[in-house]
Structure 1
Amino acid sequence: MEFERHYNSIEEVLEVAKSAEGKLVKEFDVNNRLESKKNKGGIGQIIEEGLFQRAVNSRAEADFANLDLELKVTGLKSNAKQTSFSAKERLVLNIIDYMEEYKHIFEESSLWHKNKNILIMFYQWIDEISKGDFPILKSVIHQFTDADLAVVKQDWQIIIDKIKAGKAHEISESDTMYLAACTKGANAKSMRQQPFSDIPAKQRAYSLKSSYMTAYARRILMDEDVISVFKPEELQSKSVEALLQERFAPYIGRTIYELKKHINFAENKNKAMYASLISDLLGIKGTNLDDTEEFAKANIKFKTIRLEPNGVPREHMSFEQIDFDRWLDASWEESQVYETFENTKFLFVVFQFTEAERENPNRVPYLKGIKLWNMPEQVIETELKDLWKTVHDILEAGVELTQTPRGVKNNLPGSKFNGVCHIRPKAANAADKVQLPDGQMITKQTYWLNREYIAEIVRGL
C-alpha cells in the first residue's frame, strides 16, 4: 500500500471503526483477498487495509503505535434463537518469547506493551455463508476493569513463574483464569527454546480466553448484567482460588444437615441440590455458580465429589456425551477431549461419608474441602491423548459391537484402560442411541475420569 493513513487520536480510529458497523466484510476487500486462492485473507487483514487504509505487517509494537492501540477483529456466533452471542474463538494477542519475557515486570512486558488498549471489532460469524457476507456488529475500545486487570496480572505471573521454573513445556491454557497461553503454530508442533530447561516447549501466544470474550461481548452488545461472587477490591488483592478457600473455610467439617440449617436451605432431593446449596453458601442464591462473572469468564466448571470413607468416590466422573463424527474427523488439538481439559478449570467441592452405606443407609456426608483444579499438561499429552488416539483408531476401523447375555458390548477403552480416563455409556436407557461414523448404532457414550484418579486429585484436603 503506497499510502498509509495517519491517525492522531484513539477517538479518530474508533470513529472510522464505527462507520463500518452494519456493513459486510466484503465491502472492505480492496485487495481481493477473499477471491485469492493463494491468500485466503484474514478478515482482520481485510479490515486493516480496506477500512483503516494501513498496510498489513507483523508489528512488534501496537498496530497504531503512536496511540498505543492494537486492532483485533474477532467473530461472534449467535445461538439458534438469535437471542445471545458467544465468542467464536479466543482472542490471540502476541507471541510469548520465553527467552525474554521473564526478565520484565508486568508493566514492561510485551503483553502490556502491545495490548494495553485494544480496538475490538466484532463481526457475526454465520455458518454456511461466505465470510465476505459476515456483518460487522460493533466496535469498542477494550480496557480492562480494575478487577479484570488484577486477575490478568495474576495469570501473567503464573505463566512467567512456569518459565522461570523451567516448565514452559508444561504450560496449559487451563493454568490461568482470563489470560491464557495458547499454542501457536502448525498443529501446535512449533517448538521453542526455553531459558531454564533443555526441554523444548510449544510455541505459545498470550490470548484472552473465549469464555472471557463471550462474557465481554455479551456485556457490550446485550448489556448483560452478571452476578459476581467477589467484589472488585477483593480480586485486586487476592486470587480467585484464595478467595474461594476463604469463603468455604467456615463450613469445612460441617455435615449437609448442618449446612442446610445454617442458611435455612429449602429441602429438596433433586440432582441440583448440591449446586443450589453451594450457591446459597456463597451468597448468590438462585444463580448457578458456573454462570457467575468470574466463573463464566474463566470457564470454571463446578463439580461435586462424594468420597466414601476410604477416600475414593463410589462413581467415576462423567463429562460430555461423545460426538463420534468430531472424534474421528478433528485433529488432536481440535478434539472434544483436548478442548475440554486444555481450556477448563474445575472447582471440586468435596464431601465425604464417615460410614459405609451398609452400616448406615441414612448416612450424611460432611464438607471436606474444595480444590480448584485443571488437568496437568503432562497428563493431557499422555493419558488423555492416548484415549483420544485409541478411540480415533477404533472409529477408523469400525467399533466392534458384540451381543452378550447382559447387552451389547463394545471395544472402546474401559475403566481399566490407563488409570486416568475411559469411555462408558451414559444414556436414558439401552434404546437411547446415536449413530457411529460407520453407520452402526451405539448406546450414547461419554468420556469419564476414573474414580481412583479423582481420589488422587483431592487427596490431602
Structure 2
Amino acid sequence: MLDVTSADSIIEFAKKLKGQTLREACGEEIEKHNYKGKGNFGQILEKFYFGYEPNSDAEPDFKEAGIELKSSPLKTLKNGEFRSKERLVLNIINYLEVHKEDFENSSFWKKNAHLLLVFYLHDKDLDLLDYLIKLVDGWQYPNEDLKIIKHDWETINQKIKDGKAHELSEGDTFYLGACTKGSTALKSYRDQPFNDEKAKQRAYSLKQGYVNHIIANIAQEETAVYGKIIEQPEILDVVESIEDIVISKFQPFYGKSAEQIEQELGLKLNQKAKSYFANLTNAILGLELGQKIEEFEKADIQVKTIRLKENNLPKEDISFPTFEYQELIETDWEDSDFKNILESKFFFVFYQFEGENLILRKVKFWNMSHSDILEAKSVWDKMKTTVSKGEIVKEVTDKGVRKTYFPKKTENRISHVRPHARNADDTYDLPIADELTGLTEFTKHCFWLNASYVKDEIYLS
C-alpha cells in the first residue's frame, strides 16, 4: 500500500514499475489519457500510476515526504549500457523572485533535494505507453556534488542579480545548468528584475553528463574507469571553485615543455599516440592514464588541447562532430547540436611551439558569450537554408573539385563549415537533391571554430 507521507514507501511503490510499460502498470484506464506535448510520459505516470493530478507547484510532488518525481528517456549503447537521452529538466527559474533567495531556502532546493527518478527506454517507433521502464530509484546528492551544485546555483543567481538573465548559458556552470524552456517565440520571454531587456524562460536542469552519472549509480555499472580530481570534498569549503583547483594543478608546469612535464611526473609516454595530450592532462591532474575525469564527465566539459604556432595562432581550426543534412533542416536552433556545443563549458590546454618543442603556456575554462553565440548562429542559419534549398554545389572545377555555397572562414569571425570525412565518398544523404549536380548524398561536413577566434577571444583574452 502506498503511503504518500513516507519516502521509503513511495520509492518502493515506484520500483514496481521496473520492467513494465505504463500500459502494463496502469491498466485500461490509461487509454483515456489526453496529454499532449513533450512532458506527457511524466504526466501520465503521475495521474494513472501515482494517482495525483499533474501540476507545476513550487512544492515537491509528494509534499509530506519531500520527494519530487521525474521521468527521463534512456538510450542504449552498443555495449548494452544505458545513457541519458537528454538533460533532466527541473523547475522553472523565477527571475523576479530567485534573487531574494539563498540556496538553503531556495525554491530549487525545496523542490529538488530528493528526487524519485523513473528512466524509460525511448523508442520512436512505439507509442509512449509502450516504452519500457528500465531504472527506478531515489536520488540524493552526494556531499561533493552538492557543493558544486550549490556553487552553480549561486553562479546563476549572481548573473540574474547583475541584470544578465538574458545572457544565461549552460556553459556558465558545472552540474546544474540553466536550460531554455519553451518555444523560441516571444511568449517564452520573461521580465527580469535588474534589466529592462526580456530574458528567455529557463529552467534549472541537471546536465546530461551528470544524469549519466546518476544512471550508472542506479544501474550499479562499473565506474572504475573514472578518476576524481577532488578526492576530499572539504577542499571545496576552502577553494573558490573546482576551476581554481584544476588551474592550480597546471600552473607549476607553465613554461615547461611536454617532455619536461613527462620527466617531472616520472612518465614515459608515446608522443605519437593520439591519446598523448589526454594522458599528459590526466597525469597533471593526478589521475591514472586512460581514466575519464569524473567531474568533467558529469559537467559535459569539452577538453581541447591546442597547439599554437609562434605567432599565437592555433595550428588548426577546432572541429566539432559531423552533422546529418536531414537532421539539420528538421531541427530548430534551440534544439540543435551546434547550439548545444557552443553553450558547453570548455577546458583549453594551450601548448606553443618553440622550434620542435611544445611548451605549456596556460589552461583556461571558457564558455562562449551570449553575443558570440548569436553571431555563430548566422553560420548555422545559412547552412540550414543552403541545404533546404538544395543549393549545395556552386561549381565543379576542371579537376573535379566541388566548390560549395557553405559558409566560409572569411564570412564569419567565429565559425565556418568544411568537410570532416575520411574521403569524398564518406557521405550523408541530402534531404533535397543538389540543383547543379543532382547528387542525393554529399561528403560529411561539420562546423569548425576559426583558429583566429580561438587566438583572439580565448587564448589572448
Give the TM-score normalised by the residue count of structure 2.
0.91
The equivalences for 1:122-133 within 5 A come to 122-133=119-130
Cα contact 2:321–2:446 (8 A) shared by 1: yes
| Alpha-carbon spacing, 1:31–1:93, altered in 2? closer, same or farther (3 Å) | farther
- Among candidates 198, 201, 207, match of residue 200 of structure 1: 198
SS in 1 for 2:385: helix
Question: Which of 372, 375, 390 matches 2:382?
Answer: 390
Write out per-residue CA displacement over residues 235-288 of structure 1, whole angstroms, 9 at most, x where no aligned residue.
454322111111101111101221122222223313322112212222223225
In the TM superposition, residue 32 of structure 1 has moved relative to its aligned partner by: 5.3
What is the Cα deviation at residue 427 of structure 1?
A: 2.3
Q: Show the counterpart of 1:399.
A: 391
Identity between Structure 1 and Structure 2 (%)? 36
Q: Does 1:422 align with 2:416?
A: yes
2:314 equivalent to 1:292: no
Please name the residue that 1:164 is paired with.
Answer: 161
The answer to whether the aligner puts 1:364 opposite 2:352 as a matched pair is no
Counterpart in the other structure of 1:357 = none
> Which amino acid counterpart does residue 230 of structure 1 have in structure 2?
I
The answer to whether the Cα contact below 8 Å between 2:87 and 2:206 also exists between their aligned partners in 1 is yes
Cα offset, 1:188, TM superposition: 6.3
Distance in 2 between the 1:323 and 1:220 partners? 33
SS of aligned partner of 1:186: coil
1:323 is matched with 324
Aligned to 2:436: none
> Which of 247, 250, 260 is equivalent to 1:248?
250
2:7 equivalent among 6, 10, 13: 10
* Cα distance, 1:37 vs structure 2: 5.8
2:253 partner amino acid: Y
Q: Is contact 2:73–2:121 with CA below 8 Å preserved after alignment?
A: yes
Q: How big is the alpha-carbon RMSD for the aligned residues of Structure 1 and Structure 2?
A: 2.1
| 2:274 alignment partner in structure 1 | 271
Where structure 1 has 5 or more consecutive residues not aligned to the other structure, the ranges are: 355-359
| Partners of 1:28 and 1:197 in 2: CA distance | 49
Residue correspondences, number: 446
Q: Distance in 1 between matches of 2:167 and 2:259?
A: 42
Offset of 1:38 from its aligned partner? Answer: 6.3
Q: Output the CA distance in 1 between the equivalents of 2:228 and 2:314.
A: 31
- The range that moved more, 132-141 or 189-198, is 132-141
2:284 corresponds to which residue?
Answer: 281
- Report the 3-state secondary structure (helix = DSSP H, G, I; strand = E; otherwise coil) of the residue aligned with 2:245: helix
Letter in 2 for 1:51: Y
Which of 224-233 and 319-328 deviates more?
224-233
Q: Is the 8 A contact 2:17 2:133 kept in 1?
A: yes
Aligned residue number for residue 144 of structure 1: 141
**Structure 1 partner of 2:430:** 436
Amino acid at match of 2:285: L
Q: Contact conserved, 2:98 with 2:106, CA < 8 A, in 1?
A: yes
Checking the alignment, whether the CA contact within 8 Å between 1:71 and 1:118 is kept in structure 2 is yes
Is there any run of 5+ residues in structure 2 with no aligned partner, and where? 434-438
Distance 1:400 1:88 in 2: 31
The C-alpha deviation readout for 1:198-234, integer Å capped at 9, x for no partner, is 1100011111112110121012113332321221333
Whether 1:260 and 2:262 are equivalent positions in the alignment is: yes
Look up the equivalent residue of 1:227 and give its one-letter code: G
| Cα distance, 1:345 vs structure 2 | 1.6
- The aligned residue for residue 109 of structure 1 is 106
